[in-house]
């Protein structure tokens, strides 16, 4: 069916939502084609897209279609009544989409536990496990721009759907005949039937109790000054409550960013990966002389840190740097971890973690990009007992300290980061000085990332051509560094420059990684949540200056190579 046929279907729908109908009337032909040329893809983690009318947009109808696929999935999983937990963030239409998901679930005999107000993604993961539900949904687009929203699905373990379950779910979504004609029931009727239940403080209390159990030491400076910003998202109550319960009383909130705001009006992007997101926190930190700045993204699964340097200027730590500091703190202070303790990280996360883990006798296991794969490995560890989860992280500011949540958890990470900074402060060191000591011990690791925005059909096709070009290369060097091997995760083959080959023991994925000399590397992958191609880099040398030079040279050559693809 072409885009004109899809548009005609919508225009002929007698009961089409009035707001969507009015939005359709002002779209030009190019905008209409982009809105209807395909169905919004339901991928392995759910779906995410721009809000608006059309089959390729997030709206009440595409959400209902996804919810119908989820309800069918839940009913396939259980012989008795299945249930789902639903949470939502501060984005436009998040609450409405949450209720629509519950209405569809109830029409299929699936009970919905729905949070009565905004809650973070990690609490949704916790709630699925706590309530022993069959699945979970969080309505969020994480740190995407304001015009986006999403539908992220979790399984009974509280983790994002692993590939086999995701494939089943995708099939069930595709089997829905028409997004315009999905059965629903009214919330009031579902409440009377016991198929809809509001949840709130009881889950909060249980989650916060579990968060307090991650603490490792009381021999710290709890009077340390902290500035926290939730960046207009969901983290404010839980992060501040967890800090206060742990004894951190000198916590100031960036008031301009404390309230939920779907426009994220004080930042260009509500993403703690971006240094500009710390602008107001830095202003507050300078007023109070804060030791630590903490920022979380809208659905509170990512956290960023900034700390003052010797001149009093605040430096935003990278995700890899924060991960290295947290990992070193856990492995040096958690005496309960057994000999089979294991770090889990992704293939685009710094190799510094591997070096730190090795020092403490911990193994390292790499997964594909995406925290769902880390959660899946945690479940496998618990089932087999062969390894014990010690810490999980990815370069994009996602960390998991303890596994009562099966996704990255900014609430846990914020609390442990505060303890980490207070631990080093009592010893007379800043976090930057603690990080420098790690570099001196393990080598100066530097990482970077470039992303190219390529929207629409033309963008998708160009990303495909770029990936094919790099997949079929045979270079001797990149950025002045010798190429040792090329890993093609789509074919699961690691190809060495001498002609030898090995099988990659990870799921197939459209990713290409170049392994270079001196623990250096770069990796290309299309984003799973945005219309972007992402290029990741990692280098290591004996000095920070040399690492910076290597990183710049590597990035420059890779980006130059990209320009050759038309």
- HEC string of 384-397 equals HCCCEEEEEEECCC
Q: Using one digit for the tens of pLDDT, what is the confidence trace for 146-171?
A: 999 999 999 999 999 988 899 999 99
- Domain extent, residue 219, equals 208-442
Indicate whether 392 pLDDT > 90: yes
Which of 417, 394, 413 lies closest to 402 in space, CA to CA? 413
276: how many CB neighbours lie within 10 A of its CB? 12
The rounded distance, in Å, linking the Cα atoms of 89 and 543 is 43
Q: Is 363 exposed, middle or buried (0-12, 13-18, 19+ CB in 10 A)?
A: middle
The rounded distance, in Å, linking the Cα atoms of 391 and 371 is 12
Cβ pair 425, 417 in contact under 8 A = no
Indicate whether 528 pLDDT > 80: no
For 89-174, strand residue ranges (E) read: 111-115, 135-139, 148-154
* Mean pLDDT value across the chain: 95
Cβ pair 315, 309 in contact under 8 A = yes
Query: Do 54 and 179 sit in the same domain of this protein?
Result: yes
State the pLDDT at residue 77.
87
Query: Do 394 and 511 sit in the same domain of this protein?
Result: no
Q: Using one digit for the tens of pLDDT, what is the confidence trace for 425-436?
A: 999 999 999 999
Task: Look at residues 144, 166, 199 and tell me which one is the last residue of a structural domain.
Answer: 199
Query: Do 435 and 368 sit in the same domain of this protein?
Result: yes
Cβ pair 515, 484 in contact under 8 A = yes
Average pLDDT over residues 180-204: 98
Query: Do 169 and 290 sit in the same domain of this protein?
Result: no
Q: Which of 72, 94, 125, 142 is catalytic?
A: 142
**Residue 72 to residues 109, 147, 162, 325, Cα–Cα distance (Å):** 10, 29, 17, 43
Task: Look at residues 164, 199, 234 and tell me which one is the last residue of a structural domain.
Answer: 199
Query: Do 74 and 138 sit in the same domain of this protein?
Result: yes
State the pLDDT at residue 458.
87
Q: Partners of 495 in the beta sheet? A: 486, 501
344: how many CB neighbours lie within 10 A of its CB? 27
Indicate whether 88 pLDDT > 80: yes
* CATH number (domain holding residue 554): 3.30.310.50
pTM of the entire predicted model:
0.94
Q: List the single range of 39-48, 67-76, 499-508, 557-566 with lowest mean pLDDT.
A: 39-48
249: how many CB neighbours lie within 10 A of its CB? 11
How many residues are there in the chain? 566
The rounded distance, in Å, linking the Cα atoms of 239 and 185 is 36
Q: Extract the tokens encoding 239.
A: 């992060």
332 given a catalytic annotation: no
State the pLDDT at residue 61.
98
State the pLDDT at residue 80.
78
The rounded distance, in Å, linking the Cα atoms of 264 and 470 is 37
Task: Look at residues 442, 466, 481 and tell me which one is the last residue of a structural domain.
Answer: 442
Query: Do 268 and 325 sit in the same domain of this protein?
Result: yes
Q: List the single range of 40-49, 268-277, 359-368, 557-566 with lowest mean pLDDT.
A: 40-49
The rounded distance, in Å, linking the Cα atoms of 518 and 13 is 61
Number of domains in the chain: 3
Which of 243, 245, 263, 261 lies closest to 253 in space, CA to CA? 243
Residue 419: pLDDT band with limits 50, 70, 90: very high
Query: Do 265 and 157 sit in the same domain of this protein?
Result: no
The rounded distance, in Å, linking the Cα atoms of 158 and 135 is 7
Indicate whether 45 pLDDT > 90: no
Cβ pair 150, 298 in contact under 8 A = no
Query: Do 41 and 171 sit in the same domain of this protein?
Result: yes
Indicate whether 407 pLDDT > 80: yes
Do strands 521-526 and 512-516 pair parallel, antiparallel, or not at all (unpaired)? antiparallel
The rounded distance, in Å, linking the Cα atoms of 145 and 96 is 19
Do strands 341-346 and 388-394 pair parallel, antiparallel, or not at all (unpaired)? parallel
Long-range contacts of 46-49 (CB under 8 A, 24+ apart): 46/137, 46/150, 46/151, 46/152, 46/153, 46/160, 47/150, 47/151, 48/141, 48/142, 48/144, 48/148, 48/149, 48/150, 48/151, 48/152, 48/529, 48/530, 49/148, 49/149, 49/150
* CATH number (domain holding residue 327): 3.40.120.10
Indicate whether 529 pLDDT > 80: no
Cβ pair 383, 429 in contact under 8 A = no
Query: Do 163 and 251 sit in the same domain of this protein?
Result: no
Strand order in the sheet with 314-316: 251-253, 226-229, 292-296, 303-308, 314-316
Query: Do 180 and 220 sit in the same domain of this protein?
Result: no
State the pLDDT at residue 445.
97
181: how many CB neighbours lie within 10 A of its CB? 12
Indicate whether 530 pLDDT > 90: no
The rounded distance, in Å, linking the Cα atoms of 348 and 367 is 9
Long-range contacts of 172-175 (CB under 8 A, 24+ apart): 172/68, 172/69, 172/70, 172/72, 172/73, 172/76, 173/42, 173/65, 173/66, 173/68, 173/69, 173/70, 174/42, 174/69, 175/69, 175/72
Query: Do 37 and 113 sit in the same domain of this protein?
Result: yes
Which residues, 6 or more positions from 310, have their beta carbon under 8 angstroms from its beta carbon? none
Q: Extract the tokens encoding 194.
A: 């016991």
Burial 410-447 (b: 16+ CB within 10 A, else e): bbbbbbbbbbbbbbbbeeeebbbebbeebbeebbbbbb
Query: Do 486 and 435 sit in the same domain of this protein?
Result: no
CA angle, 118 as apex, 240 and 179 as ends, to 5°? 155
Helix 352-359 and helix 319-333, axial crossing angle in degrees, nearest 10? 10
DSSP secondary structure string, 280-311? HHHHHHHHHT-SEEEEE-TTSS-EEEEEE-TT
Indicate whether 497 pLDDT > 80: yes
């Amino acid at each position: 069916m072409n885009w004109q046929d899809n548009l005609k279907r919508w225009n002929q729908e007698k009961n089409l939502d009035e707001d969507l109908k009015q939005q359709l009337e002002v779209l030009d032909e190019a905008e209409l084609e982009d809105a209807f040329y395909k169905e919004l893809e339901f991928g392995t983690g759910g779906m995410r897209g721009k809000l608006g009318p059309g089959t390729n947009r997030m709206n009440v109808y595409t959400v209902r279609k996804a919810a119908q696929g989820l309800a069918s999935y839940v009913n396939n999983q259980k012989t008795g009544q299945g249930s789902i937990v639903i949470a939502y963030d501060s984005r436009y239409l998040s609450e409405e989409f949450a209720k629509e998901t519950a209405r569809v679930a109830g029409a299929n005999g699936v009970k919905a536990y729905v949070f009565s107000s905004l809650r973070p993604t990690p609490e949704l993961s916790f709630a699925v496990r706590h309530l022993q539900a069959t699945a979970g949904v969080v309505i969020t687009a994480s740190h995407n721009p304001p015009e986006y929203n999403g539908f992220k699905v979790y399984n009974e373990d509280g983790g994002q759907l692993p590939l086999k379950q995701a494939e089943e779910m995708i099939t069930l979504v595709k089997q829905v005949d028409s997004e315009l004609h999905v059965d629903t029931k009214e919330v009031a009727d579902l409440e009377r039937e016991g198929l809809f239940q509001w949840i709130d403080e009881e889950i909060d209390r249980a989650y916060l109790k579990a968060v307090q159990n991650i603490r490792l030491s009381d021999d710290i400076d709890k009077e340390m000054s902290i500035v926290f910003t939730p960046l207009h998202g969901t983290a404010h109550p839980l992060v501040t409550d967890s800090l206060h319960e742990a004894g951190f009383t000198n916590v100031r909130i960036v008031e301009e960013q404390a309230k939920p705001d779907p426009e994220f009006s004080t930042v260009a992007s509500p993403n703690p990966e971006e240094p500009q997101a710390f602008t107001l926190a830095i202003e507050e930190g300078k007023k109070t002389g804060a030791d630590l700045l903490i920022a979380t993204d809208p659905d509170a699964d990512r956290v960023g840190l900034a700390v003052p340097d010797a001149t009093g200027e605040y430096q935003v730590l990278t995700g890899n740097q924060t991960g290295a500091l947290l990992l070193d703190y856990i492995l040096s202070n958690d005496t309960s971890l057994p000999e089979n303790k294991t770090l889990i990280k992704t293939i685009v996360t710094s190799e510094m973690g591997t070096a730190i883990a090795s020092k403490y006798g911990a193994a390292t296991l790499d997964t594909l990009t995406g925290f769902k794969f880390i959660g899946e490995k945690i479940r496998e560890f618990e089932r087999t007992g062969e390894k014990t989860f010690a810490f999980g992280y990815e370069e994009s500011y996602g960390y998991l300290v303890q596994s009562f949540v099966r996704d990255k958890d900014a609430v846990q990470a914020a609390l442990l980061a505060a303890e980490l900074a207070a631990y080093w402060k009592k010893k007379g060191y800043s976090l930057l000085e603690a990080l420098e000591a790690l570099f001196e011990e393990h080598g100066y690791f530097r990482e970077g990332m470039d992303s190219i925005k390529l929207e629409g059909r033309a963008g998708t096709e160009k990303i495909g051509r770029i990936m094919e070009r790099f997949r079929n290369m045979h270079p001797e060097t990149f950025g002045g560094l010798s190429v040792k091997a090329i890993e093609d995760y789509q074919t699961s083959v690691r190809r060495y420059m001498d002609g030898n080959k090995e099988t990659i023991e990870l799921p197939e994925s459209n990713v290409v990684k170049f392994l270079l000399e001196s623990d250096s590397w770069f990796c290309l992958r299309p984003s799973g949540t945005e219309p972007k191609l992402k290029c990741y880099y990692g280098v290591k040398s004996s000095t920070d200056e040399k690492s910076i030079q290597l990183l710049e040279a590597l990035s420059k050559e890779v980006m130059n190579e990209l320009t050759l693809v038309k």
